[in-house]
Chains A and B, each alone.
Chain A
Amino acid sequence: MTPDNQPATLSVSRRTRTKNRVRRDVFVGWMYVLPALFMYAVFVLVPFLLTIFYSFHRWNGVGPMTWVGLKNYATVFTVPDLIGTIFHAFWLVVWFSFIPVGLGLVVASVINRIAQGKFGEVARTFLFLPYVIPLIAAGIIWGWLFSLSGLINQFLSLIGLGSITRAWLGDFNWALSAVGIIGIWVLLGFCTVLLSTGISKIDPALYEAARIDGSDWFSEFFAITIPLLKQEISVCLTVTVILALATFDIVYVATAGGPGNATSVPGLQIYILAFAQRNIGVASALAVLLMLLVIVIILPIQRLNRESKI
């Protein structure tokens, strides 16, 4: 379809005709992209730029807008409750991302080694279930499990740890980590299935050779599985890190940011600042920082992905 494909001996008139046809094809081609591009531009790209624009202003959403330069950013960095949300998000990355990916790697390699049949299949399906339900349902379920009379405390009492039972999501020291456990529950299956698919693409001869040499699970895991799964690992990290940094639903229903501000995350704080306190400027500054943070963390992971392809 490109001019290069045409034989060099075309007569002039045919060449012009071809050129016209190519030009028309390009035009028609762009018409196919236009609806998607239009929707994307109006409801994603423009709002993205507007968020940046708002972040330099003081505005309550209806009245006049005042230019304040970087003042909103200064506010985010100096008010402990606001900058604190960023630290909370980092802590959640450990639970939503590092643990599911690490544990998912172990589970996927165990399935590959000892449960390639029906049992492994069933295990993967089960672990995946929490990923498809609404996150807000996950929040409600665990809100109940972590409550005083809930399953977690019942279990702790059963194994003789009755003394440490508490309302976990209401505890200043434990609430954020308890939210993190909800993240493991939701994301472990996704990571396991993705990594498991990756392992199934590794040449089985590698594992067989290792086993003939009598290698155990540990050496197989570190010498074959992890190095050859770099691409899948980086994908898992990318998806889960974005989810961790941008958590909203789970925190909104399970703790609403409490107790105090112990579980407040950027996503929730943006919502409160913008829609409860009508402080569009600071909310937008926090939103811009959140988007920057995502990109700053994702880029090195993507580089890992690219290197592994060479």
Chain B
Amino acid sequence: MKIGRGELFTGRALLVVLMVFTVLPFISIFMTALHPSGTVPGGLDWPAHPQWNNFVEAFKVANMSTLIVSSVRIVLMVVPIALVISTMAGFAIGLLRIPGSGLLLTLFVFGLTLPFQGIIIPIYILERALHIYNTKVAIALPLIALYMPFGVFWMRAHFVNMPIEISEAARVDGATIWNLFRRIHLPLAQAPIASLGILMSIWTWNQFLLALVLVEDPTQRTMAGALGAFQGHYATNVPLLCAGTIIILVPTLLVFVLFQRQIIKALLQGAVKG
């Protein structure tokens, strides 16, 4: 292969510049978070006396322990239910191919193009009428529904590619649809279900608009929703704000680094098949 030295240099330089562009913002808020609370430091100054205590203080004033419990509870409400019902629907549409499958799929895929803002007002009014406004359930129910387009679409893509012989053999042996689903196809679908679960957990953790509109009490919100309230209170205390932001984004980075392969695969395949 003939690649000139000039090109090699230019290419590498471009990649390095873009990596710096990506990472510097993280480094900047990290350094800022270590400055004395209430001061306004420069963007990239290592403090003379790093204030590690800022993280503790942000954790306390933002009521972080309550928030983490609240967020985890919302995730635990949303993700299992969303996984079960989208897997079942994907199974019926992709594998059983019930009459009307094409129409159902189109209906669900339509939801992929809908911005949340397009439906948030009626959801708010509906939840007030149902008296679930301002509770964790108020965030959980619409989130489950909003994950259906991607969830059903993603699980269908898995089931539609399963060889038909497996199901036919089982049916000839007299297996009911439930057994076909529970004993044969669910174990085979573990990988796509796991990827979907990781994605839905991150999306729930990061969800802001629903939390902002549907829950007034920040301690009942998702992490991102609570960060919004925290920013409102501590907008002028830059080091503390940066410390709080880091606490809230570190879990997402950790999950990403741990499950990088599944996350990227799920996002990309989901996108490409769309």
Residue of A nearest to B269 (CB): A197
Within 8 A of A (CB), among B172-190: 177-178, 181
**Inter-chain contacts of A150 with B (CB < 8 A):** 28, 43
Q: Bound complex: CA of A30 vs CA of B99, how far in Å?
A: 9
Query: Are A132 and B115 interface neighbours, CB within 8 A?
Result: no
Is B61 in the interface zone, CB < 8 Å from A? no
Q: Bound complex: CA of A246 vs CA of B12, how far in Å?
A: 35
Q: Nearest Cβ distance between residue A217 and chain B, in whole angstroms?
A: 6
Is A35 in the interface zone, CB < 8 Å from B? yes
Is B194 in the interface zone, CB < 8 Å from A? no
Query: Are A151 and B113 interface neighbours, CB within 8 A?
Result: no
**With A25-B96, A29-B98 as contacts: A149 and B256 at CB distance below 8 Å:** no
Q: Bound complex: CA of A46 vs CA of B44, how far in Å?
A: 50
Q: Nearest Cβ distance between residue B248 and chain A, in whole angstroms?
A: 6
Is B11 in the interface zone, CB < 8 Å from A? yes
Query: Are B118 and A132 interface neighbours, CB within 8 A?
Result: no
**With A44-B111, A145-B43 as contacts: A249 and B208 at CB distance below 8 Å:** yes
Is B48 in the interface zone, CB < 8 Å from A? no
Query: Are B28 and A144 interface neighbours, CB within 8 A?
Result: yes
Q: Bound complex: CA of A184 vs CA of B231, how far in Å?
A: 23
A126 contacts which of B22, B40, B43, B248 (Cβ < 8 Å)? B22
**With A33-B104, A51-B118, A141-B245 as contacts: A40 and B231 at CB distance below 8 Å:** no
Is B85 in the interface zone, CB < 8 Å from A? yes
Query: Are A248 and B42 interface neighbours, CB within 8 A?
Result: no
**With A267-B117, A275-B213 as contacts: A216 and B144 at CB distance below 8 Å:** no
Query: Are B242 and A135 interface neighbours, CB within 8 A?
Result: no
Is A168 in the interface zone, CB < 8 Å from B? no
Q: Which of A7-15, A71-79, A284-292 contacts B (4 or more CB under 8 A)?
A: A284-292
Query: Are B89 and A37 interface neighbours, CB within 8 A?
Result: yes
B25 contacts which of A142, A249, A288, A298 (Cβ < 8 Å)? A142
Q: Nearest Cβ distance between residue B257 and chain A, in whole angstroms?
A: 8
**Inter-chain contacts of A37 with B (CB < 8 A):** 89, 104
A43 contacts which of B123, B125, B178, B205 (Cβ < 8 Å)? B123
Q: Which of A36, A114, A141, A280 has the most CB of B within 10 A?
A: A36
B122 contacts which of A35, A51, A133 (Cβ < 8 Å)? A51
Is A50 in the interface zone, CB < 8 Å from B? yes
Is B34 in the interface zone, CB < 8 Å from A? no
Q: Bound complex: CA of A65 vs CA of B212, how far in Å?
A: 26
Is A239 in the interface zone, CB < 8 Å from B? yes
Which A residues form the contact surface with B (CB < 8 A)? 1, 25-26, 28-30, 32-33, 35-37, 39-40, 42-48, 50-51, 54, 61, 103, 106-107, 110-111, 113-115, 119-120, 123, 125-130, 132-137, 140-142, 144-145, 149-155, 185, 188-190, 193-194, 197-198, 208, 211, 214, 216-217, 231-232, 235-236, 238-239, 242, 245-246, 248-249, 252-253, 266-267, 270-271, 274-275, 280, 283-284, 287-288, 290-291, 294-295, 298
New A-B pairs, 5, CB < 8 Å, besides A119-B15, A189-B22: A35-B88, A50-B125, A132-B256, A194-B268, A287-B117
| Nearest 9 CB-CB pairings of A with B | A151-B43, A43-B145, A246-B115, A29-B98, A47-B122, A36-B89, A50-B122, A32-B92, A47-B119
Which B residues form the contact surface with A (CB < 8 A)? 1-3, 7-8, 11-12, 14-15, 18-19, 21-26, 28-29, 32, 40-44, 84-86, 88-89, 91-93, 96, 98-99, 104, 107-108, 111, 113-126, 141-142, 144-146, 148-149, 151-152, 167-168, 171, 177-178, 181, 202, 205-206, 208-209, 212-213, 223-224, 227-228, 231, 238, 241-242, 245, 248-249, 252-253, 255-256, 260, 263-264, 267-268, 271-272, 274
